[in-house]
Structures are given as C-alpha cells and as structure tokens.
Amino acid sequence: MQSKKKTAKVFLIGIYIFIIVIYLLTCLIPYLNPGQFWFIALLGIGFPILLLLMLICMVICAVLRSRWTILAVAVLLISFQQISVVFAFHPASQFNTVKNPDALRVLSWNVSSWKEKYEGTGGMQNSDIRNLMIDAVQMQDADVLCFQEYFESFAPELFPSNISALQKMGFNYYYFTPILKTVNEKLQSGLCIFSKYPILDSNFYNYNDGGNSEGYSYVDINYNNSGLIRIYNSHLQSPRLAGKEYNPLEEIEDSRTIVGKIKRGYSLRYKQAEILKQSIDTSKYPVIVCGDFNDVPNSYSYFKIKTGLQDAFLKNGFGLGQTFQFISPTLRIDYIMADKRFKIEQFSKLDYKYSDHYAQIADVSPK
C-alpha cells in the first residue's frame, strides 16, 4: 500500500513538473524566432488552457499545504507578461455611440471579401451578407475604416461597388491596394483604408515573399487640425488551416501539409512583423495600427509590433477577446493599437458573424 502511494505521488509530481515545463516554454515565445521554434510558438494558442492547469495545480498544492505551491506561484509571477496581454481585466461597459468631439473613431475588420465570390463561367454567388455588413459599418459612425480582405467590383453587372456605398456614408477619401485582380482586372481584393478626412499622403508595401499576406499600407490624415496621424492597415500571413476561410491567392506548392503550413506561416509572419515594425518606428507622426496579424497576443509578431504601442482591447476590454470565430475561443488575432501619445477612450468588439472575423472599433484622442 505504501509503495502504491509513493508511486502515485511520484506520478502526480511528474505531471505537475511537465505542466510547468510546457507552461514556461510559452514564456519564451516573444524572444524566439517562431520560424525555427514553431512547435514552441504553437503552444501560445493553448496558453489560456495551460494557465488554467497551472492555477488548478497551485490550488491543489495549497489545499494539501505542499511546498510545491511556492513553485507554482513563482511560475505564475514569471509569466505575468503573457497573462497581461492575453486577458483584459476591465469590467465590460456599454460602448457609447456618441463620440467625444476630440476622439477619432477607428473601425478595423477583416471582411472576408464581404462573402462575395465569383465562380467564373459557372456564374456567381452574391449573398445578402454584403448588405448587412455595409449597414453594420454605417451604424458605427466611424471616422476611419481599415479593411482586410477587402473586395471591390468594377463590374456592376457582377457585383455592386463597395467604394460607392461607403462614399455615400461620408468616406470620401480612400486608399485601396489590391493584391489580386481577376476577370480582366474588374474584380479586385486587398487592403483598403477609408477616411472622412483628407488623405494627405499614403504608401503601400508588398512583402513579396511568396505568401498570402496582403502587405501593409498607411495613410496620413489631419484630424481636427491637431496634427498629422498615420493610420496603418496590415494583414500578415495566414496559416490557411480553415477550409472555409476565403483566400484570393493560389495554393503554395511547398505548404501542403498541416505542419508545413504552420511552419511557413510562423516563418513569414516573423519577417513581416519585423518589416512592419521598422516602418512604424520610422513614422514622423503618431500612429494607429490596425490589422489581422494571424497571431495570438503572446506571439513573437504581437510583441514585436506592440512594442511602444497600446493595445486598445487591453485598455478597455474584458476577457479573452476572441476575434476569429472558428478553431478555438482563444484566437484573438485582430488588433487596434495606438501610439502612447493617444488616449484610448473606449473599445468594442462587434459581434457580427457575417465574416469569419469580428470587427473592432475604438475611440482614440490626443492626450
């Protein structure tokens, strides 16, 4: 009997140490090249579950008055950086639709091409979802719109123009950077930034790395004569694991297996995040960064881009803040970030299930 108890104790301690080791590996993610250590980076997706296991271990040890409790507490303290970016601790509050006169309201959304897909000679699929999405955008009373996987039609016989619909809402200025052009270049998709304020300058960077990223773009606007603001919009490499996720680019021949796609995705996002951050750091003006990063908050890409910026969700959100509908409730992969010279007054995730991503909106004002 004594031998069995000892064996059980050793077994439980082994499980406990195993959980701690796996958990501590997630703390290394922001410092490792995810292209080389993709198997460690992948652990970041399950960080909330690992944290729950750690808390359970700590409670059990505390109840048993075991000295192992100290180890659990120490590990949790070490991982505070990861905990602080994965969870937002602000009580849920109602988003005020009436803006502060000094605030700039920014909406970011991966619209998944408004769910409109051309099927070649076989016809087309044009759902009513596009109209619902346009209406949802109009209701937010935003000043700036940052769209990823934006689709525009220059063939009215196939699809209506989205630019025209948004211009009727007061978004008279836009910067569209199509990555894909089909049907004699009449159907185009890529990044698009709309603004109710004049765009004084703009730029686009295509990573040209063989991936399916849409690159990044930025525009400079003068909001309320308070000085120029640079708005970034970016869509980093997708792992392309979701079969229903729209992707305008052709299959990559060397990324056909799940492992291959994961490794390739992490490797490309690592390089793309470096390039995007370099541009952000050289901006002459305060920046607001929007986009679909295709990476969770404790990833290398997130920490790289976020350095020196504020995460709007962490400032005003609560919980995990899932932005991608499928695979896992831990997937917060879309972000609005702002320079520390701004005050993030309020933030909301819009629970419209028209796209595979949820839209986000934030009010940002100069301090």
* 95 within a domain of the structure (yes/no): no
Pairing of strands 228-235, 124-126: unpaired
Extended strands (E) in the chain:
88-89, 104-110, 116-118, 124-126, 144-153, 173-182, 187-195, 199-205, 215-222, 228-235, 287-292, 309-311, 318-319, 334-339, 342-350, 359-366
Domain check: are 355 and 269 in the same one? yes
Domain check: are 71 and 138 in the same one? no
- Beta strands across the sheet bearing 199-205: 199-205, 215-222, 228-235, 287-292, 334-339, 309-311
Domain check: are 82 and 165 in the same one? no
In this structure, are residues 349 and 317 in contact, taking their beta carbons and an 8 Å threshold? yes
Domain check: are 162 and 217 in the same one? yes
Q: Give backbone dihedrals phi and psi of 16, rounded to 5 degrees, phi first.
A: -60, -50
Per-residue pLDDT for 120 more than 90? no
pTM value?
Answer: 0.90
Apex 276 CA angle, 274 and 277, nearest 5: 65
Domain check: are 237 and 322 in the same one? yes
Neighbouring CB atoms inside 10 A of 101's CB total 7
Domain check: are 154 and 208 in the same one? yes
Rg (alpha carbons) of the chain, rounded to whole number: 22
Question: Which tokens in the block code for residue 235?
Answer: 């869509």
Neighbouring CB atoms inside 10 A of 40's CB total 16
Taking only the tens place, the pLDDT of each residue in 303-356 is 999 999 999 999 999 899 999 988 778 899 999 999 999 999 999 999 998 999
Domain check: are 195 and 260 in the same one? yes
DSSP state, 324?
B
Domain check: are 80 and 122 in the same one? no
Q: Out of 1-5, 222-226, 233-237, 258-262, pick the least confident.
A: 1-5
Range of the structural domain that residue 236 is part of: 104-366
Domain check: are 79 and 125 in the same one? no
Domain count, the chain: 2
- Name 164's Cβ contacts closer than 8 Å, sequence gap at least 6: none
* 98 within a domain of the structure (yes/no): no
Taking only the tens place, the pLDDT of each residue in 241-296 is 544 433 433 444 444 567 778 888 899 999 999 999 999 999 999 999 999 999 99
* 93 within a domain of the structure (yes/no): no
Of 133 and 1, which is predicted with more confidence? Answer: 133
Summarize the chain as % helix, strand, coil (round to 5). Answer: 35, 30, 35
Domain check: are 109 and 147 in the same one? yes
* 359 within a domain of the structure (yes/no): yes
DSSP state, 360?
E
Domain check: are 258 and 163 in the same one? yes
Query: CA torsion 16→22→28→33, rounded to 10°?
Result: 170
Taking only the tens place, the pLDDT of each residue in 121-147 is 444 455 578 999 999 999 999 999 999
Domain CATH number, residue 238: 3.60.10.10
pLDDT at 13 (0 to 100): 84
Pairing of strands 124-126, 359-366: unpaired
Per-residue pLDDT for 12 more than 50? yes
